[in-house]
Amino acid sequence: MGIAVSDLAVARGGIKVLEGVCFALEPGQALVLRGPNGIGKTTLLRTVAGLQPPVSGRVEMAVDNHVYAGHADGLKATLSVEENLSFWAHVFGNKDVSDALSAFQLTSLADRPAGALSAGQKRRLGLARLLVTGRPLWLLDEPTVSLDSDAVAMFAEVIRAHLSRGGAALMATHIDLGIKEASTLDLAPFRAKAPEPDDFDGVFL
């Protein structure tokens, strides 16, 4: 149910950015990834999500266990809030979207086209998608971007409820959500070193 990552190395654009990353996540736990821009938080999350293969190392988790939420929310501007959400619910084999709508206070906006939402409302809709998937492991890349402080509190509440149901969350974020179950992993020590050239010619090859 949880996830175990051992000695993982990931690359972006053919250049290794992180190596030797190890962590484990049990049900009910959350792990926050931290590190400066460009350290490879997004790349690590995409690798764990299975969107790109790791350079080396292993990601061990059950199949069809996780849901990924990236920088883009995957919303269709001409579909309504409710249509967007129920599409994802159907893809993941669920039907009911009312709980997810109310958790992020989107019920009053349900009939509005997603293109007419503000940036923060779009993000809330993107996060509401996590609830309709019914998946236990959430992989979140900067989930709080463009959320105001009320919405961040709303999101923290949803995460807390998810953890108490036995879910888990791996997220890259810079702000403190105030979730006491969450531990933090600083990625800076795992920054990949440039490979040492074997000989003088190696520098030019």
Partner 1 sequence: MIALLVRDLKLAMRAGGGFGLGLAFFLIVVTLVPFGVGPESALLAVIASGILWLGALLACLLSLDRIFALDWEDGSLDLLATAPLPMEAIVSVKALAHWVTTGLPLVLAAPVFGLLLNLPTNGYKPLILSLILGTPALSVIGTFGAALTVGLKRGGLLLSLLVLPLYVPTLIFGAEVARRGVAGLDNGTPMLMLAGITLGVIALLPFASAAALRVNLR
For partner 1, the binding residues (CB under 8 A) are: 46, 49-53, 64, 66-76, 78-79, 83, 87-88, 90-93, 129
**Which residues are paired to 157 by β-bridges?**
none
**Which residues are paired to 137 by β-bridges?**
66, 168
Residue closer to partner 1 by CB (options 30, 67) is: 67
Decide: 33 and 185 in contact? Cβ < 8 Å: yes
**Which residues are paired to 18 by β-bridges?**
10, 191
Residue closer to partner 1 by CB (options 36, 74) is: 74
For the bound state, the minimum distance from the C-beta of residue 70 to partner 1, rounded and expressed in Å, comes to 5
For the bound state, the minimum distance from the C-beta of residue 68 to partner 1, rounded and expressed in Å, comes to 4
Residue closer to partner 1 by CB (options 90, 174) is: 90
End-to-end CA distance of the chain: give it in Å, rounded.
45
Residue closer to partner 1 by CB (options 80, 157) is: 80
Helix (H) or strand (E) run with residue 140 in it: strand 137-141
Residue closer to partner 1 by CB (options 78, 149) is: 78
For the bound state, the minimum distance from the C-beta of residue 87 to partner 1, rounded and expressed in Å, comes to 5
d(CA 62, CA 59): 10
CA angle 34, 138, 79 (to 5 degrees): 115
Tokens of 103: 């958790």
Tokens of 192: 């990949």
- Virtual CA dihedral for 19, 20, 26, 29, nearest 10 degrees? -60
For the bound state, the minimum distance from the C-beta of residue 47 to partner 1, rounded and expressed in Å, comes to 10
For the bound state, the minimum distance from the C-beta of residue 103 to partner 1, rounded and expressed in Å, comes to 19
d(CA 50, CA 66): 10
For the bound state, the minimum distance from the C-beta of residue 31 to partner 1, rounded and expressed in Å, comes to 18
Residue closer to partner 1 by CB (options 51, 188) is: 51
